[in-house]
Amino acid sequence: NAGVTQTPKFRILKIGQSMTLQCTQDMNHNYMYWYRQDPGMGLKLIYYSVGAGITDKGEVPNGYNVSRSTTEDFPLRLELAAPSQTSVYFCASSYSRSSYNEQFFGPGTRLTVL
Amino acid sequence: GNSVTQMEGPVTLSEEAFLTINCTYTATGYPSLFWYVQYPGEGLQLLLKATKADDKGSNKGFEATYRKETTSFHLEKGSVQVSDSAVYFCALSDNQAGTALIFGKGTTLSVSS
């Protein structure tokens, strides 16, 4: 199993540009998550999905959109990039039947908005 | 609401020294507790977990015990190695699938030979 994979690893955007961060998992997990990690801080939840076609907002959703058309894929879309979105983005997934909500993380995408 | 507080870093140790990274939590109910590790340039990896009071999680020489009476989950290792240099995150789950893990801010550990 590759686990959770993310692309790209690094990206520099100009203010106002848009991009999609890709996330794929091959563990057949129903639940998927997007977090952002700012320097010296823990991770904050942006969006999550409980299955194909179902998504919901997390703690910091403004400026982002998501979709979940398949179990495997959960892309994160930035429509109008702003400097405040400079961060490291992590995708994660978990078993729907896990009562402990243990999450498995991808390697991250480091995004800089200039 | 739920929260996790862990000791500020950075923590700098010599090889073979004893490590403790403190973590305390605030939660309603009976959460599960985790330690994740982030090596330079990589994503988060689960290091160990404990799902009920008095459970001890262990992995790669690291240990942490779920103490409900003190709401703590301190990470310990008896003899650190240079390869343990990383950022360590304490995290809490309310055991509801589809909810966020609540993370501490992370503690950077640097081990020198």
Q: pLDDT digits over B34-65, tens only?
A: 999 999 878 889 999 999 999 999 999 999 99
Taking the CA of residue A23 and the nearest CA in chain B, the distance in Å comes to: 13
pLDDT in tens, A14-50: 999 999 999 999 999 999 999 999 987 888 999 999 8
Chain A residues with CB under 8 Å of B44 CB are 43, 90, 105
Residue of B102, B59, B62, B90 whose CA lies nearest to B78 = B62
Chain B residues with CB under 8 Å of A104 CB are 46
State the best of B8, B21, B101 to mutate against chain A, taking most chain A CBs within 10 Å.
B101
Whether A20 has its CB under 8 Å from any CB of chain B: the answer is no
Taking the CA of residue B59 and the nearest CA in chain A, the distance in Å comes to: 16
pLDDT in tens, A57-108: 998 999 999 999 999 999 999 989 999 999 999 999 988 656 667 889 999 9
Residue A4: closest CA among chain B residues belongs to which residue? Answer: B43
**B32·A95 Cβ contact <8 A:** no
C-alpha R_g of chain B: 14
Distance CA A45, CA A57 (A): 8
Using the 8-state DSSP alphabet, how is residue B35 labeled? E
Residue of B79, B76, B80 whose CA lies nearest to B90 = B76
pLDDT at A98: 63
